[in-house]
Structure 1
């Protein structure tokens, strides 16, 4: 929930409002005649708001990159028999 304040009061308390937003993690809505006019949000909040919808988080990007780098390696010709493997996965298009 955002803290609402009239524009006339916001002018007088701008430095305090900035501190509340930056250090207190609050969001401030400045109103005129009881109607929302503008909002004060931290730079971090603004970055999150401007991110494209569905964009992966940095940690997700790292996992996606790691998984994408995995490649399939063919087994040596006699390896399945050596370890007693009786079945193998051939992927979506077996040949």
Structure 2
């Protein structure tokens, strides 16, 4: 859980807050009008967040790539249309001819 402090008080106690974060392992959320404004976290916590973001981005890219291959047109679809006498084809409802 994070320690919350108003910005006016944080300004006066910045050195103490930094020590609490670095040496006490705390996380400090600075608020304005009761709403979170910024957070003070250790450099180690920040690095862990960056690693998590990178892992999530890689997972998202891998997921997008696998989904796009699922929706790729089948290479034999054009040839099969003539073979089976299929006269209709799917058209995007938003596309105009």
Q: TM-score range by the shorter chain?
A: 0.5 to 0.7
Counterpart Cα distance in 1 of 2:37 and 2:55: 25
SS at 1:49's partner residue?
A: helix
Deviation at 1:53, TM superposition (A): 2.1
Structure 1 gaps of 5+ residues are 55-95
Normalising by structure 2, report the TM-score. Answer: 0.54
Which structure is higher in helix share?
A: 2
Q: Cα RMSD (Å) of the superposition? A: 1.5
Q: What does 1:49-88 correspond to in 2, within 5 Å?
A: 49-51=49-51, 52-53=54-55
Deviation at 1:25, TM superposition (A): 0.2
Aligned residue pairs total 55
Query: Is 1:3 matched with 2:3?
Result: yes
SS at 1:10's partner residue?
A: helix
Normalising by structure 1, report the TM-score. Answer: 0.56
SS at 2:37's partner residue?
A: strand
> Structure 1 runs of 4+ off > 4 angstroms?
none
Query: Is 1:43 matched with 2:43?
Result: yes
Counterpart Cα distance in 1 of 2:7 and 2:45: 22
